Amino acid sequence: MASGATVKDPGEFDWRNAREELDGLPGGRGLNIAHEAVDRHAGGPAAERIAFRFLPKGGEMREMSFHELSEETNRFANALHSLGVEAGATVFLLAGRIPELYVAALGALKARTVVCPLFSAFGPEPIRSRMEIGDARVLVTTPSLYRRKVASWRDELPDLEHVILAGADPGEAAGVPGSVSMGELLADADPEYTIDATDPEDPALLHFTSGTTGAPKGALHVHEAVVAHHLTGRMALALRDDDVFWCTADPGWVTGTSYGIISPLTNAVTSVVDEREFDSERWYRTLEEQRVTVWYTAPTAVRMLMKAGDELPRRFDLSPLRFIASVGEPLNPEAVEWSRRVLDRPIHDNWWQTETGGIMIANVAGMEIRPGSMGRPLPGVEAAVGRRDEDFEEGMEDEGSMEVIEDPDVEGELILRAGWPSMFRTYLHQEERYRASFTGGWYFTGDLVRRDRDGYFWFVGRADDVIKSAGHLIGPFEVESALIEHSAVAEAAVIGKPDPVVGETVKAFVALHADHEPSEDLRLDILGHARSRLGAVAAPKEIDFLDDLPKTRSGKTLRRLLKARELGIPEGDVSTLEEPL
């Protein structure tokens, strides 16, 4: 098995060849995500296959075939032209997981505008600031979201020319300046459309990061990314023709777009889209009723399912379920074991980030899973453990002031050889910062990892979250995983707390399972458990009990917020903070 400085999967994988799996625009006119996702199937044997099964908050399920999706998205592209919206303009989407969101996203890609989906639970200010950074020209939203979240600041964004209201009652749009009803627009639009020549390097998608480590950054992706969306869906999620796929992420996060919209479509599989939020019983029922075969979710959801108990899933028939995958946060070994025991299948963790646009490191089907490891790099992805000069400054781009760590089991930053198709092409309006994340031809991800002898990567923590104590580097993930092994602990987060003697000590915040109450005895018991598992250096010195841990709306634990509160310093950008329950 590979164990060199870098790990390349065996075989002659080459992204240029991979592109041949896709069609390209007819007549050699380039590459457009929406053509690969929709039109090439609508014009072939999969035309009547169901592309989406929308499960609305109320009412009946709505199915949409590839053929129908093609016509609807054609109408939307024509409608954008009729409004005078040109290629390159940014179209923001702010809606729940309703059919119009999906039609608008793909139609806007056909019209070669740049699509930026926003999470509909954001408050007015995070929406306004992202639309300002993204130079919004068009907003697709619903009347209710518009009234609650946009109307108050609409005048501050004079470049926002059009608001397209999905689900508006007749005449409702007339009351909103510069707005049109999406229903009326589509009804008037032609269902035929020819996508203009699209350069693979044309911008296509703008995604804001989760804001876990600081203010969210706008990562810009191009049409070429579809090559990675397509192939990684097959390689990392094992998608194949007759699958029913359920990606639980919202398109407001990159996972919900790359794998909630694009990848299942390019692979011509049927996607389940659930408009409602998490509910353990309904989720299991959805898996059963929809006969889901491939399920892509996140560690937070898995931990909540674990909290709901082992008996619940046994009431449902999950026999069609063939493959479970997870992304977004480290997946504790405990969760993999639980899934094996209770769901009869392991969860396949994979790693990527907004900037990478698609899955980079994964536990693929059939591979030996090492619980706690995020797997190995996919074909075409060259990943390594690297380090660059401590005094690295912006502007030192490509000076070679870095090294690749060859030895296994050494901690360092996860780095990726630049050049995969879904690599971000800039941080919008932060070109310096973008350049500063590359050195010596490698992209520095900001995550700390180690690689074992067999090429498996193990997440240590985000570079910002790593704790330095008495000369040791302590990764939060390992400590948190040990804590949740304790039977009373449902969730845990640890931070470094400044200490005059050892630099930092480890402080833990834990949320308990429903059947446990905080007490001094329990605190001592958890401390003792951690100490016996981790040894004196890495074990927490202090534990606080919290009802819930602060998380981003994409489900990531906000350790920096816990730290700021602990130290009494400003909380920083909390625009993505989930409302306390």
Binding footprint of ligand ATP on the chain (CB under 6 A):
209-214, 216-217, 253, 327-330, 349-351, 353-354, 374, 445, 447, 459, 462, 554, 556
* Least separation in angstroms between CB 516 and ligand ATP: 27
How many CB atoms are closer than 10 A to CB 568? Answer: 6
Q: What angle do CA 257, 260, 264 make, to 5 degrees?
A: 115
Q: Which one of Mg ion, ligand ATP, none interacts with residue 462, CB within 5 to 8 A by kind? A: ligand ATP
What is the enclosing helix (H) or strand (E) of 485? none
Q: Which one of ligand ATP, Mg ion, none interacts with residue 286, CB within 5 to 8 A by kind? A: none
Measured CA to CA, the distance from residue 345 to residue 325 in angstroms comes to: 10
**Of 284 and 477, which CB lies nearer to ligand ATP in the complex structure?**
477
* Least separation in angstroms between CB 555 and ligand ATP: 9
* Least separation in angstroms between CB 71 and ligand ATP: 33
Torsion of CA 521, 525, 531, 537, to 10 degrees: -30
251-282: buried (b, 16+ CB within 10 Å) or exposed (e) per residue?
Answer: bbbbbbbbbbbbbbbbbbbbbbbbbeeeebee
Site for Mg ion in 175-214 (CB under 5 A): 209
Instruction: Label the pairing between strands 503-512 and 489-499.
Output: antiparallel
**Of 181 and 356, which CB lies nearer to Mg ion in the complex structure?**
356
Q: Closest residue (Cβ) to Mg ion? A: 209
**Of 113 and 209, which CB lies nearer to Mg ion in the complex structure?**
209
* Least separation in angstroms between CB 353 and ligand ATP: 3
**Of 203 and 216, which CB lies nearer to ligand ATP in the complex structure?**
216
What is the enclosing helix (H) or strand (E) of 36? none
In the DSSP assignment, the letter for residue 227 is: H
* Least separation in angstroms between CB 214 and Mg ion: 9
146 vs 114, 123, 151, 156, 164, CA distance in Å? 21, 11, 6, 15, 10
CB 146 within 8 A of CB 178: no
* Least separation in angstroms between CB 72 and Mg ion: 34
Site size for Mg ion (CB under 5 A): 1
Q: Which one of Mg ion, ligand ATP, none interacts with residue 75, CB within 5 to 8 A by kind? A: none
Nearest to 577 by CA among 568, 481, 559: 559
**Of 209 and 248, which CB lies nearer to Mg ion in the complex structure?**
209
**Of 141 and 350, which CB lies nearer to ligand ATP in the complex structure?**
350
**What are the DSSP E strand ranges found in 169-293?**
179-181, 203-208, 218-222, 244-247, 270-274
Q: Which one of Mg ion, ligand ATP, none interacts with residue 329, CB within 5 to 8 A by kind? A: ligand ATP
**Of 373 and 554, which CB lies nearer to Mg ion in the complex structure?**
554
* Least separation in angstroms between CB 287 and Mg ion: 30
Site for Mg ion in 482-511 (CB under 5 A): none
Q: Which residue has the tokens 């009723």?
A: 289
Site for Mg ion in 365-404 (CB under 5 A): none
Nearest to 262 by CA among 31, 95, 486, 96: 31
Q: Which one of ligand ATP, Mg ion, none interacts with residue 556, CB within 5 to 8 A by kind? A: ligand ATP
**Of 138 and 306, which CB lies nearer to ligand ATP in the complex structure?**
306
Q: Which one of Mg ion, ligand ATP, none interacts with residue 328, CB within 5 to 8 A by kind? A: ligand ATP
**Of 209 and 293, which CB lies nearer to Mg ion in the complex structure?**
209
* Least separation in angstroms between CB 248 and ligand ATP: 14
CB 115 within 8 A of CB 107: no
* Least separation in angstroms between CB 557 and ligand ATP: 10
Site for Mg ion in 249-268 (CB under 5 A): none
Q: What is the DSSP string of 268-292?
A: T-EEEEE-S---HHHHHHHHHHTT-
Which conformational region is residue 440 in: left (phi greater than 0), alpha (psi within -120 to 50 degrees), or beta? Answer: left
**Of 96 and 216, which CB lies nearer to Mg ion in the complex structure?**
216
Measured CA to CA, the distance from residue 394 to residue 199 in angstroms comes to: 30
Q: Which one of Mg ion, ligand ATP, none interacts with residue 459, CB within 5 to 8 A by kind? A: ligand ATP
* Least separation in angstroms between CB 391 and ligand ATP: 22
Q: Which one of Mg ion, ligand ATP, none interacts with residue 374, CB within 5 to 8 A by kind? A: ligand ATP
Instruction: Label the pairing between strands 412-417 and 402-404.
Output: unpaired
End-to-end CA distance of the chain: 47
Binding site for Mg ion (CB under 5 A): 209
